[in-house]
Amino acid sequence: MKYADEIKQLTKKLKEQGDILLEEADWIYSLLSENPKVFNFDSSVYNHELYIAIERWYKTVSKKLKEGKRGNFIFTIMFNKQQYINKLTLPARKAIKKYGVLEDLYDVIVIDEKLYSALPYKHMFREIKYHEDLKGVYKIKTPRVGLYHYPIKVGHLTYTIDGLINQLVPIATIPLANSLDRALYREAFKVAVGAHNITQDPCVFGTKEVELLTLAAFIKHKDISCAATIDAYGKHFAAFVEKGRERVVKEAINVPFDEIAKNAVQENVINKETAKALLNSEYIMLLSIIDFINASVKHLNDVVKTKLEWKDARKIVEDEEGWLENTR
């Protein structure tokens, strides 16, 4: 009874004042995350009055989002595998998906060792070690909406994940078609940060796999720090790199794959038939994957270096021409 009355008061506050305190949002979230059976019709501890109060709360949250409002109330929304919790939060989840921004839906953040070492809130992440001889990656995962903007207090200071992401540069936000896509991009990220090595084991490869693993190996070769996020619906993968190094990565991305395949043929890593199959997006048994990637990384390194040097030289010339024009 007491909890239901408090929820009703907070719902009224949200309607009239447009938001609630962070502590109040934390409390509502904890009700669902720590006492889920209270909202289960089939449970002996089911509380009907509290269920109705929470149901009205999330409908009110939904209305505020439709009005374009944002605030601490967003932090009460959660993605949960339990059907009866999902039913309660459904109006709010639909609204945040439709009226919010994509970053509201990201519930997984993965960073490399370099980024982790500089964090003042390391306790938020856990290390994932794929092999004891390789680097680990650091991951935070939460069913709570608003991970990017939730305040993280350390002593008298407050941080956000958004602050960390803003120190990086986005290089791609990629729609994921299925679980195989998600697995592929996760694998590529692990290669890029040195948490996983590409093996020579026979495997079926297609153009997307080869392109991604080659780019990941190039990022690792250049020792470029990076991070990645995946949204709660598993529909988008976003990749970020450290500021000042994004030029290198973007130039590498822009190198056509047919140039990479042509170079591999010239280096006698693959034959023309294999190159043709790759360019036609055919899946093949590419037994020389390590040799292919090593040759391709070297080629990318040379091409990117040449392009950046040319662009820098051209900018100097253009700046000088502009200066001369202004002095005439």
Provide block-wise average pLDDT over 10 residues at a time, the chain (328 residues). 90 97 96 88 89 96 96 93 87 94 92 94 92 86 93 95 93 88 90 85 73 94 95 91 94 94 93 89 74 94 94 76 55
pLDDT of residue 320: 60
Contact in structure between 166 and 193 (CB atoms under 8 Å) = no
Q: How far apart (Å, rounded) are the C-alpha atoms in residues 189 and 130?
A: 12
Facing residues of 227 across strands? 111, 240
Q: Which of 20, 137, 41 is nearest to 85 (CA)?
A: 41
In sequence order, the 6+-apart residues with CB closer than 8 A to the CB of 48 are none
Token couple for 148: 């990017």
Which one-letter DSSP state was computed for residue 144?
A: B
Neighbours of 195 (CB within 10 A): 22
Domain map (residue ranges) of the chain: 2-100, 105-314
Q: How far apart (Å, rounded) are the C-alpha atoms in residues 190 and 112?
A: 9
pLDDT of residue 290: 87
